[in-house]
Structures are given as C-alpha cells and as structure tokens.
C-alpha cells in the first residue's frame, strides 16, 4: 500500500497545538496548553498584541502542563504533573506528582510554587491539592483543599498517628501566604464553596471497612452547622456526585443515575424540607459534564454525547450565544469554552471528523466571529477520512453503537481494516476528530470504533451489562463488529488488525488470544495483560475493602481472591492461543498501567515462540502527551500495519 500522498506522521503526532483555552477576566489575554519543545506548557496569548510581541510561556523542567486558571487580570495558576519514582536510587514506587505555579503576566513577581514551604505542600506531593475557586472579595485569594496527615506531636490526636483529614485553605496567589480555614470530618472528600469562600456543601465517603459501608453522604450548611441532605450507596462506584452551586445559589447541583437509567442533573436545595428537582436530563444519553461559570462558580449548563458532543445552557444569555455559534459553524460540535467577566468576549471551540479542534474569538459588541488557530494546523479536511455511524447488533441482540472511518479517496469495499476499541472501559467514542483513527485511515485502512457494552453515555443498564464481561461479552461485541464489516464487504477478512490503548490495549490482546481467527496482527499500547496484577495494584494502593477495589472487581467480575478466574481472562496466561504477530508499545513511566504489563505479555509470547515486538516509549506517560512519544507510537504502528495487512 502506498502512503505517499498521505500527510506525514508529524501532522498527527504533535499533541493538540492548542487546548484548554481560558480568557482573562478583562478579556485581554487567554491561556492555553500547547506543546513547547515537545512537552505541554501553559502559553499566554495577548488578543491584540503590539507588533513583535510574543506569547509568554510557563513550563517546568520534566513537568507536563494540564490546566491553567486565571486568578485576576495579571495572575494565573498553571498546573503541572510529573511521573517519577519515589525512590530515584532504587527505581521503586512510580507515582504521579502535581504542582501549581503562580505566575504574573506583567512580571510583578517571578513565578513560584503555590503553597511551597507550607506543611500541606510537603504532605501533598501527589494529586492531593485541589483548586476550588477564587474569592470575590480579594482579587489575589484562591481556595485550595489538601490532606493534613496527622503525626505524633501534631497537636491533634482525633484521628490518630498517620491518619489524614481534608483541610481547606485560603492562599494569596501573590504573596503565597497560606491560611487554614476549615477541617473536614474523618470521611470528608470534598466541599462546595460560594464566591466568598464559605463552605456551603460537603461530601463524605466511607468504604467497606467503615459504617455505614460504601456510602456517600451530602451535607448542606445550616447556619454554623452541617445538615445531612442525601445519602447514596457507592458500592459500584459513585453514582451521585456534587458538581457545584445552582445559578441562584440556593441549591447544590448533583449528577446522578438515581431513578433514571440515564445519568441526569438534579438540584439539592439547602433549605430544610425543600425537595430535590430535576434540572436537566436526556432521554437517550447520559448527561456528561456540567458547565461552570468560572467567575461565579455557578452551574450554567451541561453537555452530553449523542453522535457528537452537544452543549446545553440553563443561562438564557449563554444559551442564545451557543445557538448563534452553532448556526455560524454548522454541523460541528460547538462549545463556549471561556468568556470574560463582562460576557462581552468569548472563546469558542469547534470540531468534527473533518475539522480538528479550532479556536474562534466572538465579540458581542459587533457580533464578529474570528478564527484564531487550529489544534492540528498541518492537516487539511481533504487529508481526513469520512466518518459515519455504523450500528450493529451483538450476537445476543444488544444494539451496539459504532463509528466507521473510511480512508480518503477509497471505496468502502474489501479494504484492509483496523478495529480500534476505546480505553476506559468507562468511556465511549463519538463523531469527532480522532487523531489516531484518522492517522490510520490516512494510511488506507478502514477504522471501526465500537462502543461495546460497558461503555458510558448510554445509560446505567448498558454500562452495567459490561460488568463482569472482560474478555467475554465485551470482547464478543468487538468481534461482532469485525464480522459485520466482513459481511458488508467493507473489510478484507484476511487483512484485519486490532489496535487499542489502555483497556483498548487489553481488548486488542484479548482479541488476539480469545478470537485469534479474526486478526492478522495486533497492536497494544499500554494494554493490560495480567488482570490479577492490576487488581493487586488496587489492593496495594487503596486496600482490599476500598471503593477502588470494589470498582475493579465489579468491572472485571472476578474477586481478587479467585486467581484461576483472573488467569482465565488474562492474555498473558494463554500465549499458545495467539496466532497473529503482536506489537507491544508502553511508556516506561506509565502510572496508570505499569509497563510490567507489556513486559509480561512479551515474555509469555516470546517463550511460546510467537512473533512479538516490544517497544518501550521513553519519557512519556499513559496519555501520549509528548511529541516524541506520540511520533514513535504512530511510526511503529504504521510500519507494523504495512508489514502485516498493507499488501
């Protein structure tokens, strides 16, 4: 197969050139995550820069930027993470560490680590610190929660030595002064604040070792005290979560399943005796994320994924602008990503399968919509394949939603094909720009992305049908999609490869192992090969009776104690069943799925005399956020597909 006319790998391999955009309060600047020297950094652009002005860059050596947050017109907080070993000398205990940097765009102060020097900074080296909001009363104050680990002589023996309690702080982002405001109870896991920094909502969570077992309890502020407002069983993972404050400030906003099959949004009033009320739902799809007004902290809308992502606003003014943008950018998934405090300037992002995410500037004064930049600037619409829904029925009659990407300029007949199951598995695919799927389509392959049972977005029943079906009915759904492509004459049955990452990598290895007759080759990035060791990691990290452990045992459908049943669904224990050549790709600093998973699969296949290639991706993580790592993965995938199904 010739790929001479296809865009170069570099066009797909650069992680989104612009994402996570946020306007400053006065609307003169905006921040974004953008790769700098191959690694994500926070970049600040001036909307109307003077001649010769350059964007400002905030980066940490060996750190990956993942968020930015404007405190005031001059100051923003940049969030970074780094995957590193707790013990560098022994290479033990790979963990993710996170830090927040306070930066002045005018240079009033040099950038500094937020809360550095405080007790909570030292005790929350990982993901313990959470930015909860800013103050409406002091332009430099932000509110941060973090874990207070009690030790001997700490002056508070309520929890006992070594125990932790969530604590709330007011932090001056200019001077770095830290003030403790409130301690949670022993089970507190989060708060909701109003714009004055007052805690108005609280969530406590117990696990199986405490009474009541596996329970989320929501509290509302009643004067100086807390009043219990709602309780939920969280045995199967949290089915209800506090999202924030309602637009009028009178209620908490929850996202839940509750009495619905589909996840919906409900208000939980703070007034005693007031009944909860549904705020938004969709009959066909789960509500996804809520939309928060960053300047007020109020929930002003929500989104859901139908065939493409849809955005709904409860605020009439924002709803009006959303509809105008959808009309101006027809057919695309359009989002009001950010707005200034006066709501006169908006950053709008839009994408569809033929249009990588683009950023637009909309000004209400003159109704002007201006294109600013694109996340994949080297790609043209003609470089990208057509994407269409491709529904089919599983062998037991269950309706499966899927998407088919066809290679540009190719008829949908007897094509080499890739089935590309998503990760998670609590996730789903939709009609959007997908850089990896489009890369494979640009090389001449039809790409099928099935939303197998257990995928999110289609309701509690569909999600629950995946519980206990790893390597079983979830895998059958993927296989049935392959058979549908063959039956429809789209795929050449002798030239089909299965490719996946994370859970999708497990699905790729499971496909190679449990339905080997279907595939001519297999590519797994960060795939799970030994399910028992993943559950063992959950036990080590959180405990045998933890919510995390219950979550994984529900999904896998096997108790950690049942080693035989876990081996039955683990590809690494059945290498003799594999027929196709296997490419294993894995980051050496992956904190989600340890690289040892691919190492075990490689050893098993090698010892069984199978064709296997194992490539360690250096210096990246689970998300492929680095240019070099993404390029390496795509280059290896391209060569492997060309060798085994490209002719």
pLDDT grade for 552, boundaries at 50, 70 and 90: confident
> How many domains, in total, are found in the chain?
1
Contact 388, 16 (CB under 8 A): no
pLDDT of residue 3: 47
Task: Name the percent of the chain lying above pLDDT 70.
Answer: 93
Buried-state track 337-347, b at ≥16 Cβ within 10 A, e below 16:
bbbbbebebbb
Token pair in block for residue 492: 């050449």
Read off the pLDDT of residues 107-132 as tens digits, 9 standing for 90 and up. 999 999 999 998 888 887 666 789 99
- Calculate the alpha carbon distances from 156 to 118, 161, 179, 184 in Å: 18, 9, 17, 13
Is residue 116 one of the residues assigned to a domain?
no
Task: Name the percent of the chain lying above pLDDT 90.
Answer: 76
Is residue 43 one of the residues assigned to a domain?
no
Read off the pLDDT of residues 285-329 as tens digits, 9 standing for 90 and up. 999 999 999 999 999 999 999 999 999 999 999 999 999 999 999
Read off the pLDDT of residues 66-85 as tens digits, 9 standing for 90 and up. 999 999 999 999 999 988 77
pLDDT of residue 558: 81
Is residue 459 one of the residues assigned to a domain?
yes
Task: Measure CA 478 to chain center.
Answer: 22
Is residue 637 one of the residues assigned to a domain?
yes
Read off the pLDDT of residues 418-441 as tens digits, 9 standing for 90 and up. 999 999 999 999 999 999 999 999
Query: How many Cβ atoms from other residues are within 10 Å of residue 559's Cβ?
Result: 12
Q: Is the pLDDT of residue 276 over 50?
A: yes
Output the CA torsion 405→408→411→412 (10° steps): -10
CATH number of residue 615's parent domain: 3.40.50.1820
What is the average pLDDT across 212-227?
A: 88
Output 147 or 562, whichever has higher pLDDT: 147
Please tell me the least confidently modeled range out of 147-151, 444-448, 621-625. 147-151
pLDDT of residue 90: 46
Is residue 3 one of the residues assigned to a domain?
no
Maximum Cα–Cα distance across the chain? 73
Rounded to whole angstroms, how far apart are CA atoms 420 and 64? 27
Q: Is the pLDDT of residue 91 over 50?
A: no
What is the bridge-based pairing of β-strands 333-339 and 345-352? antiparallel
Q: Which helix (H) or strand (E) holds 616?
A: strand 612-617
Mean pLDDT of all residues belonging to the chain: 91
Contact 479, 515 (CB under 8 A): yes
Read off the pLDDT of residues 8-28 as tens digits, 9 standing for 90 and up. 999 999 888 889 999 999 999
Q: Is the pLDDT of residue 2 over 60?
A: no
321 phi/psi in degrees, rounded to 5: -70, -40
pLDDT of residue 387: 97
Contact 168, 199 (CB under 8 A): yes
- Residue-range definition of the domain harbouring residue 476: 381-530+570-645
511: exposed, middle or buried (Cβ count in 10 Å: 0-12, 13-18, 19+) = buried
Rounded to whole angstroms, how far apart are CA atoms 114 and 146? 12
Output 264 or 83, whichever has higher pLDDT: 264
DSSP 3-17: -TTSPPHHHHHS--S
Is residue 348 one of the residues assigned to a domain?
no
Is residue 509 one of the residues assigned to a domain?
yes
What is the average pLDDT across 45-72?
A: 93
Name the pTM for this structure. Answer: 0.93
pLDDT of residue 34: 94
Contact 205, 145 (CB under 8 A): no
Q: Is the pLDDT of residue 640 over 80?
A: yes
Is residue 553 one of the residues assigned to a domain?
no
Output the CA angle 365-368-369, nearest 5 degrees. Answer: 135
Query: How many Cβ atoms from other residues are within 10 Å of residue 533's Cβ?
Result: 17
Rounded to whole angstroms, how far apart are CA atoms 271 and 381? 53
């Amino acid at each position: 197969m010739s790929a001479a006319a296809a865009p170069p790998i570099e066009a797909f391999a650069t992680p989104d050139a612009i994402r996570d955009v946020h306007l400053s309060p006065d609307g003169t600047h905006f921040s974004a995550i953008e790769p700098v020297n191959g690694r994500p950094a926070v970049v600040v652009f001036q909307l109307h820069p003077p001649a010769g002005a350059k964007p400002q860059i905030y980066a940490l050596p060996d750190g990956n930027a993942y968020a930015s947050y404007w405190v005031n017109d001059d100051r923003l907080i940049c969030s970074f993470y780094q995957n590193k070993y707790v013990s560098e000398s022994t290479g033990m205990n790979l963990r993710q560490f996170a830090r927040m940097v306070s930066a002045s765009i005018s240079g009033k102060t040099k950038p500094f680590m937020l809360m550095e020097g405080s007790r909570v900074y030292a005790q929350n080296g990982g993901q313990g610190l959470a930015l909860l909001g800013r103050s409406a009363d002091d332009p430099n104050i932000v509110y941060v929660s973090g874990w207070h680990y009690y030790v001997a002589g700490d002056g508070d023996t309520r929890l006992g030595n070594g125990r932790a309690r969530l604590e709330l702080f007011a932090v001056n982002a200019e001077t770095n002064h830290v003030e403790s405001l409130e301690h949670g109870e022993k089970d507190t896991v989060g708060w909701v604040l109003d714009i004055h920094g007052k805690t108005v909502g609280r969530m406590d969570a117990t696990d199986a070792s405490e009474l009541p077992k596996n329970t989320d309890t929501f509290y509302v502020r009643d004067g100086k005290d807390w009043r219990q407002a709602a309780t939920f069983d969280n045995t199967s993972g949290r089915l209800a979560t506090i999202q924030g404050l309602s637009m009028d400030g009178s209620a908490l906003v929850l996202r839940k399943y509750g009495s619905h099959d589909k996840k919906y949004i409900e208000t939980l009033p703070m007034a005693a005796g007031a009944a909860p009320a549904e705020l938004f739902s969709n009959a066909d799809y789960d509500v996804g994320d809520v939309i928060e007004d960053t300047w007020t902290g109020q929930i002003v809308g929500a989104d859901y994924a139908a065939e493409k992502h849809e955005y709904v606003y409860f605020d009439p003014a924002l709803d009006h602008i959303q509809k105008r943008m959808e009309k101006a950018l027809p057919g695309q998934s359009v989002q009001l990503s950010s707005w200034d405090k006066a709501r006169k300037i908006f950053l709008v992002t839009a994408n569809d399968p033929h249009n990588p995410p683009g950023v637009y500037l909309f000004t209400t004064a003159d109704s002007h919509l201006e294109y600013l930049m694109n996340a994949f600037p080297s790609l043209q619409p003609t470089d990208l394949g057509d994407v269409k829904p491709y529904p089919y029925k599983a062998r037991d009659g269950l309706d499966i939603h899927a998407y088919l990407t066809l290679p540009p300029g190719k008829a949908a007949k007897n094509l080499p094909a890739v089935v590309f199951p998503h990760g998670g598995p609590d996730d789903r695919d939709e009609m959007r720009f997908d850089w990896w799927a489009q890369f494979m389509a640009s090389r001449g392959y039809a790409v099928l992305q099935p939303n197998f049972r257990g995928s999110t977005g289609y309701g509690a029943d569909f999600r629950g049908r995946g519980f206990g079906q790893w390597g079983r009915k979830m895998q059958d759904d993927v296989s049935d999609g392959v058979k549908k492509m063959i039956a429809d004459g789209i795929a050449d049955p002798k030239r089909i490869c299965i490719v996946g990452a994370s859970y999708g990598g497990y699905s790729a290895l499971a496909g190679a192992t449990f339905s080997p007759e279907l595939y001519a080759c297999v590519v797994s990035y960060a795939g799970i090969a030994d399910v028992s060791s993943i559950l063992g990691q959950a036990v080590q990290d959180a405990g045998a009776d933890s919510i995390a452990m219950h979550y994984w045992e529900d999904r896998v459908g096997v108790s950690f104690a049942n080693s035989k049943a876990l081996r039955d669904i683990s590809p690494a224990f059945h290498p003799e069943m594999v027929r196709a050549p296997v490419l294993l790709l894995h980051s050496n600093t992956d904190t989600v799925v340890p690289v040892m998973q691919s190492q075990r699969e490689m050893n098993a296949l090698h010892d069984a005399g199978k064709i296997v290639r194992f490539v360690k991706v250096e210096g990246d993580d689970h998300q492929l956020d680095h240019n070099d790592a993404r390029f390496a993965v795509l280059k290896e995938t391209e060569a492997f597909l060309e060798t085994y199904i490209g002719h």
